[in-house]
Amino acid sequence: MSGMRKVQHDYATQEPRRAPFDFAQGSLRYARQMHRRRNRRYLYIIATLLIFGVGIGGFTVLLTNWLDFVK
């Protein structure tokens, strides 16, 4: 029925749970954000090393094929 009012629920928005403050750095950065940043940095390092390793492997294969062809 279009004439009936809808009930409005006035619930308070629930705050997400946050990790305790990290006072060792002297700033109010959350420990969870620090962990995310550190994990992201490790992910970039691992990705860089993986790409570098694949590049060296490909270069080695091409070099050995070229040296074998030269003989």
State the pTM of this model: 0.50
pLDDT at 34: 78
Over residues 6-43, the pLDDT tens digits come to 666 666 666 666 555 555 555 556 677 778 888 999 99
pLDDT bin (cut points 50, 70, 90) of residue 70 is confident
Over residues 33-54, the pLDDT tens digits come to 778 888 999 999 999 999 999 9
pLDDT bin (cut points 50, 70, 90) of residue 60 is very high
Q: Which residues of 25-60 are buried (b: 16+ CB within 10 A; e: fewer)?
A: eeeeeeeeeeeeeeeeeeeeeeeeeeeeeeeeeeee
List the domain boundaries for the chain. 21-70
